[in-house]
Structure 1
Amino acid sequence: MTSPSDRIRPARGVPRRLTDLAEAFDLRTTGALPTDATVGAVASDNRAVASGDLFVALPGTRAHGADFAADAVSRGARAVLTDDAGAARAARLGVPVLVAPDPRLVLGPVAAWVHGEPAGALRTFGVTGTNGKTTTTYQLDHLLRALGHTAGLVGTVETRAGDRVLASRLTTPEAPDLQALLAAMVEDGVSALTMEVSSHAIAMHRVDGVVYDVAGFTNLSQDHLDFHGDLPTYFAAKAELFTPARSRRGVVVVDDAWGERMAATASVPVETVRTPGAAGTDGGATADWTVSDVATHGTGSAFTLTHRDGRSLRTSTSLPGGFNVANAALAVVMVLAAGVPFDEVTAALAAGDGLSARVPGRMEVVGPGGDGDPRVVVDFAHNTEALELALAALRPTTQGRLAVVFGATGDRDPGKRPAMGAAAVAGADVVWVTDDDPHDEDPGKVRAEVLAGAEAARAAAQDAGRTVVVREVAPRGDAVRRAVLDAAADDTVLVAGRGHETVQEVAGVDLELDDRHEARAGLRARAERTATA
């Protein structure tokens, strides 16, 4: 639910005349517009309307937004923008009604216009891809701050505008909320914005009205097919970000065929990045930027980034795994693509201890290990490839067994469930299958589909002489605590799938659940067990 309290708005909006709005977007009106009628912001959710807003009533699958226009007007909406069907319902509300053939297509541009095109006053970076969006945006934010920017951040974990911080409800906010947020950032003196741009946001026009200075692509693998239908359609949604309507330049990681395809099909200038061991289809052809000399240190890695013209820098990331090296390299090249001089970026990386941003719920070490306790790591990995990568990143630094606690989301892309189970068995020694967010689906059914893949892979591993333990435990909190209690001191426990999330949805009920808190509870229980032994 959206409410005024979960929106960041500028404190001082500049009212825009409705007559100018109608002319700018060729909007039809149901009657003459008062010449002095103005609006100061835009809302498409009647519950979020504030005095002076333009309420945009969108057609929906279950109801029309115009059915809520009366409530919006009672909350202070000064005008309604809708389609022909909505105009008939809003005609008697006593406020001006503007009409567009498809109001969703103009929602973002109208909101941007009302707020004075705030994105144009910021240096903007948008990151898309299946995995790594959050980490890359935090690394970008870290580097931009080291360069002296007052930075804004919009993503899965949180939204920051100056000193104002909100937990995020969506990876990418709805268009009116986003434009209001950008206007607030400009008002707060923010100079650079980093955003996660989800495929849903592109397909549903949430980022319409923003043209990013630099767009970045991490990777693509099976996810969100319940929404997109198939991988080519999923790819096409992300590829829209690399068109002149949405960005000016792009940076693409070409470590696989999807990245190569993105670089080849982009209609804006693109620079490419390749990391060691890339599984591309072109035999490892040279990219514009290549990563080499990767050296693990602690939980992170140092690496060298070299341009085809010979420029080179050495820096590091504090996060483990080759995929985080790719995310870090992408962040660096995106800043360079924005026109920041190479020497300035090199100096900022040195001053900022490389890319050492802490990313909530992304390979977050909850328990470092030692003193008889296992290492415990919480990560957002919620699809097959992310789970494979997270386990592969932790294996080299795990002396004992590697355990994983995970589940699959209900009402979402059931085709990936057996594959996730198989990936867990391939990468771990102990597999704890539990619930993620069941939503309205039977949790036992979801677990059974994951277990089918896990048990088939376990039997194959057994035939090959490798023993993997597979256990089913629910609810999730019990599974996390049991995995931590079961682990030996030299083991690693990866709790995967939810990362920073603190609410689990079960049959329409929101339950408090934070994997980090459950892991710490398991570590406390270990301490109590040791004390009473």
Structure 2
Amino acid sequence: MDTKKLIQKLSSKISGISSNSKHIKPGYAFICLSEKSQEFIPEAIRLGAKFVITKSCSIAKNNKIIICSDPHELYHVLSSKLHNKHPNFIAAVTGTNGKTSVVDFCRQIWNLLAYKAASIGTLGTFVNQQLLYKNSLTTPDALKLHQILSELYDEQVQYLCLEASSHGIDQKRINSIIIKAAAFTNLSHDHLDYHHNMALYFSAKKKLFSHLVACDGYSILNMDTAEYTQLKKITKSSNVITYGTNKGDIQLLNFNSNKEGHHIKIKIYNTIYEKFFPILGQFQIYNLMCAIGIIIASNIKYKDLPIEKLVAPKGRMEKINDFIIIDYSHTPDALKNTLMSLKLHKYSNKIILVFGCGGNRDIQKRKIMGKIASQYTIKTVITDDNPRNEDPSKIRKDILSHCHNAIEVPNRKEAIKYAIEQAISHNYIVLITGKGHEDYQIIGNNIVNFNDEIIAKSIINQLYK
């Protein structure tokens, strides 16, 4: 059935929707968003589904089953109709690296300027400084997202910045949202298990600018990326804010780094700001400029920007002590930037790195990350990340074959302990990457408690008893 006609038919005949059969109640429509979810159609019908919407169906015919050419389109539209409230200003950030920091900086700045603000992304859903929800996805599924937006409206949140992942854009999770500002950070190797190649990966991200941002909205673009010209050309927003080291609306004029952060000199239109930015990582200066672009797009009035009061997002270049740093970097570009930043911040050139790669994900990046680790560290400890249902030893082998200075310690806790002991003995800096804020490890079908920060602090306490 035609999607538009189906939306009209269902809007007045259902009491709710879900893409999870376990959440179906009498009167609901069960939306199959993947071929695998068709396995749960009998369960949804048993629980009282009034309709089942699917792209195709191999089970026995049932008058409740409706074939729809685009279940994702139907799902986001019905989600927005069932939960139609939202904050007045919504910004979306896409890019391979930096999304989490940008949305976090935006929320912090709005909050410091006395506005009620929220962020949605990898770290969860935050209102001001309070965690409202932990998110299982960087960009929540359409129904959950619109439920959150309605709740934020009820909480009188005025400004929201959310992460728009390539998966989220491709699966139309944000298509029914009025996006008043769309921002781009950068593009590098990631998610090729899903998108297959870089062209398709970038194509998904481009949709935020070519299809989703409001016509009278803003596009915030990084002038220092190869993608800038193309994004500026295709964006449908009538306003563009540029940032970078080139002459643009927000321009980094100079910076000087130390172990606590950066002294930065930034020109915003015709005003020059000299500030201390208390967050590690040169790449975070770019994320800050992107966030400033979004703040400008939100049309709030400010006399000054409270840059010196910002704190690092959880698990992003997070200092545990003077020689241990934790970072989420799990892409080749992020890992390289993080390692280079430690040297920029006058830390020892002797870095011992602890990292692994996730299972059932893009395998191409493993050898690239192995080479980067070999190039920028004195020693690398290859361990398990989230192996999921893949053989952990194979993942480690894929990395080890391209990392000549590495040793293999499968158990992540033991790997961290080894690195810390080596650092104490040889005056190394320990960098633990890949998991950042995560408080779990996915091994097979099991999710076990694991947090790099807690483990590192526990080991330090034991060693210094």
1:525 aligns with 2:440: no
CA pair 512-237 structure 1, distance change in 2 beyond 3 A? same
Q: CA deviation at 1:416?
A: 1.2
Residue identity opposite 1:132 in structure 2: G
CA distance in 1, matches of 2:244, 2:375: 26
**Aligned residue number for residue 106 of structure 2:** 140
Deviation track 1:369-390 (CA, whole Å, cap 9, x = no partner) reads 2xxxxx1111000111101111
The answer for the alignment partner of 1:273 in structure 2 is 243
Mapping of 1:2-17 within 5 angstroms?
Answer: none
Please, which of 23, 34, 48 is the counterpart of residue 60 of structure 1? 34
The alpha-carbon distance between structure 1 residues 29 and 147, as it changes in their structure 2 partners (threshold 3 A), is: closer
Assess if the C-alpha contact under 8 Å between 1:82 and 1:100 holds in 2.
yes
Q: Distance in 2 between matches of 1:409 and 1:24?
A: 37
How far does residue 56 in structure 1 lie from its aligned partner after superposition? 3.4
Q: What's the offset of the Cα at 1:524?
A: 1.9
Secondary structure of 2:139's aligned partner: coil
- 1:189 is aligned to 2:156: yes
Q: How big is the shift at 1:179?
A: 0.5
- 5+ residue gaps, structure 2, are none
Contact 1:434/1:476, CA 8 A, preserved across alignment: yes
Answering whether residue 175 of structure 2 is matched by residue 201 of structure 1, we say no
Given candidates 232, 237, 261, the residue that maps to 2:199 is 232
Match of 2:422 among 474, 483, 486: 486
Q: Does 2:232 align with 1:263?
A: yes
Query: Aligned residue for 1:80?
Result: 51
Q: How many residues align?
A: 457
- 2:343 counterpart SS class: helix
1:511 match: 448
- The offset of 1:131, in angstroms, is 0.7
CA distance in 2, matches of 1:166, 1:526: 35
How has the CA–CA distance of structure 1 residues 161 and 310 changed in structure 2, closer, same or farther, with 3 Å as cutoff?
Answer: closer
Residue of structure 2 in register with 1:380 after alignment: 328
Aligned residue among 71, 75, 79 for 1:107: 75
Query: RMSD over aligned Cα, in angstroms?
Result: 2.8
Shift of 1:450: 0.8
> 1:251 corresponds to which residue?
220
1:130 alignment partner in structure 2: 96
Q: What is the TM-score of this pair, normalised by structure 1? A: 0.79
- Correspondence list, 1:407-446, <5 A: 407-446=356-395
Instruction: Work out the CA distance in 2 between the residues paired with 1:448 and 1:125.
Output: 41
- 1:216 deviation in Å? 0.9
User: Matches of residues 355-366 of structure 1 in structure 2 within 5 Å?
Assistant: 356-366=310-320
Work out the CA distance in 1 between the residues paired with 2:436 and 2:33.
34
The amino acid of 1:502's aligned partner reads D
Q: Deviations over 1:53-73 (max 9, x none)?
A: 743322532342533322442
**Which structure has the larger Rg over C-alpha atoms?**
1
Q: How far off its partner does 1:218 sit?
A: 0.8
Q: Any conservation in 1 of the 2:357–2:385 contact (CA below 8 Å)?
A: yes
Residue equivalent to 2:6: 27
**Partner amino acid for 1:522?**
I
2:51, 2:433 → 1: CA distance? Answer: 44
3-state secondary structure, aligned to 1:26: helix
The runs of 4+ residues in structure 1 deviating greater than 6 Å are: none
1:91-106 aligned at under 5 Å gives the runs 91=63, 100-106=68-74
Tell me which amino acid in the other structure corresponds to 1:318: P
Deviation larger for 246-255 or 428-437: 246-255
Task: Give the aligned partner of residue 389 of structure 1.
Answer: 337
Question: Within 2, Cα distance between the matches of 1:246 and 1:55?
Answer: 29
Equivalent residue number for residue 18 of structure 2: 43
What do the CA deviations read for 1:161-209 (whole angstroms, capped 9, x no partner)? 5766222211111101111111111111111111111000011111121
Separation in structure 2 between the aligned mates of residue 428 and residue 482 of structure 1, nearest angstrom: 15
Partner residue in 2 for 1:531: none
Residues 480-525 of structure 1 show CA distances to partners (whole Å, capped at 9, x for unaligned) of 1110111137431100111111221222222222111221122123
Unaligned runs of 5+ in 1: 1-21, 276-284, 370-374, 456-468, 529-533
Q: Is the 8 A contact 1:46 1:71 kept in 2?
A: no
